[in-house]
Amino acid sequence: MLAPLVEGLCQSAAPPSSLIRGTRSGNRAKRLRAPAYEHPQRYLIVGNPANANQSSGVAAATTQQRCVRRLVLNVNDHECAPAAGIDWAKDEHALCVLDEAGRKIFEGRFAHEEGGILKLCGSLVERGVERVAIERPEGVLVERVLECGITVLAIHPNQLKASRPRFRASGARSKSDSFDAFCLAELGRTDRHRFRALTPDSDETKALKVLTRAREDLVRSRVALANQLRAELEAFWPGAVLLFSQIDSAISLAFLKRYPSPKDASRLAEKRLENFLSKNCSAGARAPPSC
């Protein structure tokens, strides 16, 4: 009675005939091939297009020359004029000039003075440079280069930092002013469309910049003097610091001029202080409320 069950179990455990050793499954005689693309990549198209007239040899040759010429122009469309890079520094500027093919044709250093800047601009004009890449968007050097009719590309320092591995030999970590100037020149030669080109300022804009810088210098000096005055008063007369809301206000300066020391203010009675405040009342006084 157990024989049919055992026979059924043996049949279910046995592998199918297709998996027995020595048998072939599937069509293994046909070799696998890479997938065929209906439209190849553009950079692979060097010959005739798909719709070219294959029957005409002259037309095919003309079409092939046109395709090759188009590819060459797409690759070398940045090669039109020498480009330069300037690594700006407080004392000395590094200059690197590259020709249309990226070969270094000039390299030098120029002092940050009127004579050095003039020599730098002369070197650019002499070599026919049309674009200059620099990290600063303003300054005397940028204005002199713009006056020479040369396009100036403003490149952020972070962009220059990210591009250094692109031009650096594998494993090299050295950084120098001349190498930064070379990187800037390469960016100006090959990637000029990615950066903002500066335009020369008008006379009104230049005058406004001069006034703005002068005002910033005056504000900086006023804040520094106010902090110095507050520190001196806190050292020997803290009460004068708390009397007015701003230490550099007109009424505070008038009070310190009238009473320059605690000894001079010792005889200051309430009536006399009220008369002083009424004469010099302003927004900088905390009392009396009528002000």
Cβ partners under 8 Å of residue 284, min gap 6: 244, 245, 246, 249, 250, 251, 252
Token duo for residue 153: 């590309």
What is the reported pLDDT for 83? 92
Cβ partners under 8 Å of residue 121, min gap 6: 144, 145, 147, 148
Q: Over the stretch 178-205, which tens digit does the pLDDT of each residue have?
A: 899 999 999 999 888 888 888 887 888 8
Secondary structure of 56-97 in HEC code, one letter for each residue: CHHHHHHHHHHHHHHHHHHHCCCCCCCEEEEECCCCEEEEEE
- The contacts found for 201-205 with CB under 8 angstroms, 24 or more apart, are 201/143
Which residues, in sequence order, are bridge partners of residue 94?
87, 109
Query: What is the Cα–Cα distance from 59 to 61, expressed in whole angstroms?
Result: 6
Which range has the worst mean pLDDT, 31-45, 115-129, 136-150, 175-189? 31-45
**pLDDT confidence band for 70 (50 / 70 / 90):** very low
Query: What is the Cα–Cα distance from 155 to 178, expressed in whole angstroms?
Result: 16
The residue with tokens 């806190």 is 234
Q: CB atoms < 10 A from the CB of 261, how many?
A: 11
Q: For 233-240, what is the mean pLDDT? A: 87
One-letter amino acid of 54 = Q
One-letter amino acid of 95 = L
Asked if pLDDT for residue 5 goes beyond 50, the answer is no
Query: What is the Cα–Cα distance from 113 to 120, expressed in whole angstroms?
Result: 11
What SS3 class is residue 190?
Answer: helix
What is the reported pLDDT for 160? 87
In angstroms and rounded to an integer, the radius of gyration of the C-alpha atoms of the chain is 40
Query: What is the Cα–Cα distance from 112 to 115, expressed in whole angstroms?
Result: 8
Pairing status of strand 83-87 against strand 92-98? antiparallel
Token duo for residue 265: 């203010």
* Residue 88 exposure: Cα atoms within 13 Å on the Cβ side: 17
Q: Over the stretch 48-63, which tens digit does the pLDDT of each residue have?
A: 444 444 444 544 455 4
The residue with tokens 């250093």 is 109
Distances (CA, A) of 12 to 43, 153, 174, 249: 58, 79, 72, 103
Q: For 78-101, what is the mean pLDDT? A: 86
Residue 3 Cα to chain centre, angstroms = 86
With residue 215 as reference, give the H or E element that holds it. helix 203-236
What is the reported pLDDT for 24? 53
What is the reported pLDDT for 33? 55
What is the reported pLDDT for 50? 46
Asked if pLDDT for residue 85 goes beyond 90, the answer is yes
**pLDDT confidence band for 3 (50 / 70 / 90):** very low
Token duo for residue 68: 């090759």
Token duo for residue 83: 């480009």
Q: Where are the beta strands (DSSP E) in the chain?
A: 83-87, 92-98, 104-111, 131-134, 151-154, 196-198
* CA nearest to 268, candidates 286, 281, 256, 250: 256
Domains of the chain are 83-200 (3.30.420.10), 204-279 (no CATH)
What pTM, to 2 d.p., does this model score?
0.50
Which range has the worst mean pLDDT, 9-23, 94-108, 191-205, 232-246? 9-23
